[in-house]
Structure 1
Amino acid sequence: MKYSILAIIAVLFISCTNNDNELPAAIDYTAQNEAEIKAYIADNKLDAKRSDSGLYYVINEAGTGKQPTSTSTVKVTYKGYFTNKIIFDQNNTGISFNLQQVIKGWTEGLTYFKEGGSGILLVPAHLGYGSYNYNGIPGGSVLIFDVSLITVN
């Protein structure tokens, strides 16, 4: 009897443990994000282009200076928000970073501008933070950025 109770407790304990190092399976938001971006573009009457990766971008000012590559260090100002226009991040004074250190949507998107250029990046989740929550950004979120490219180093 004593061993059967221990066996039951052991089975319950083992079945209730969870490996905290395992992440839940990723969810594919591609179709949902595509529809959300297209609706946002239509609602806001944007003249957006779509890249092969699924990134949408609007060039308000192309700029006249140097054009960054995906490995450039750039200085930008930006405002990041969701399709419901709730702002999650912004920088109005200028921030510098290497394009290898940011989300894929920025690494690709900023290469469409030259210094002095500005526009909008509409970033689907697979080019942003994916299907996982990140610093208050819900997994699967479309991210929109108003960006101004100040300098390219």
Structure 2
Amino acid sequence: MKKMFILAIVPFLFIGCIKSTSSTTNCTNVTPAAEEAQIIAYCNANGITYTKDPSGIYYQILELGTLPHPTLSSTITTNYVGKLLNGVIVDQSSAPFTSSLNQLIAGWQIGIQLIGKGGHIKMVVPSSLAYGCYGAPPTIAPNSLLYFDITLVNVQ
């Protein structure tokens, strides 16, 4: 069921990208810099010893995993939980989830490449690298920051 949620969102991401370039829309992505204070506060409150990626993602690698690390063209298998910063779970794997990395949100594309098979990462993803100003209704509101706890089970 949760896999279907993510798979259903992938086409929406592409539509969202098209809409965001239209001059007739009022949708504006929030910049990662504008969300930085909120991300840092969340990390500090939740014991995340973070590193800031230049993209704006904040992450903590709990287990680096083995080499090689995945690339955008890799097929990955993960166990994960995704939450809003208020703690509401928006998605989680009930069984290992497999997808091509290049089909997932930008935050995952950036963060997953930092670990290898067996790796474990916590990430706080700025809204513009998640579902942006369109969100993923009804679960994820526009401009929502997301927290992910991900274990990379396999890389192909």
TM-score normalized by structure 2?
Answer: 0.79
Superposition deviation, residue 45 in structure 1: 2.2
Corresponding residue number in structure 1 for 2:150: 147
Among 101, 104, 111, the alignment partner of 2:103 is 101
Q: Check conservation: 1:125, 1:142, Cα contact below 8 A.
A: yes
Q: Check conservation: 2:27, 2:134, Cα contact below 8 A.
A: no
Superposition deviation, residue 24 in structure 1: 2.2
Corresponding residue number in structure 1 for 2:4: none
Q: Deviations over 1:61-118 (max 9, x none)?
A: 1112531012211000100001111101000310110111010000010001110011
Q: Which moved more, 1:37-46 or 1:26-35?
A: 26-35
Corresponding residue number in structure 2 for 1:89: 91
Q: Check conservation: 1:65, 1:116, Cα contact below 8 A.
A: no
Percent identity over the alignment is 35
Residue 78 of structure 1: SS of its match in structure 2? strand
Higher-Rg member (1/2): 1
Q: Check conservation: 1:121, 1:145, Cα contact below 8 A.
A: yes
Q: Distance in 2 between matches of 1:31 and 1:93?
A: 35
Q: Which runs of 5+ in 2 are unaligned?
A: 1-23
TM-score normalized by structure 1?
Answer: 0.80
Corresponding residue number in structure 1 for 2:134: 132
Superposition deviation, residue 28 in structure 1: 2.3
Corresponding residue number in structure 2 for 1:30: 32
Q: Which runs of 5+ in 1 are unaligned?
A: 1-21
Superposition deviation, residue 121 in structure 1: 1.3
Residue 144 of structure 1: SS of its match in structure 2? strand
Q: Distance in 2 between matches of 1:152 and 1:42?
A: 31
Superposition deviation, residue 32 in structure 1: 4.1
1:40-79 aligned within 5 A:
40-79=42-81
Q: How many residues align?
A: 133
Q: Deviations over 1:47-68 (max 9, x none)?
A: 1111111011111111125310
Letter in 1 for 2:155: V
1:110–1:24 distance in 2 versus 1, CA, 3 Å = same
Q: Check conservation: 2:75, 2:101, Cα contact below 8 A.
A: yes
Computed over aligned residues only, the root mean square deviation of the Cα atoms, in angstroms, reads 1.7
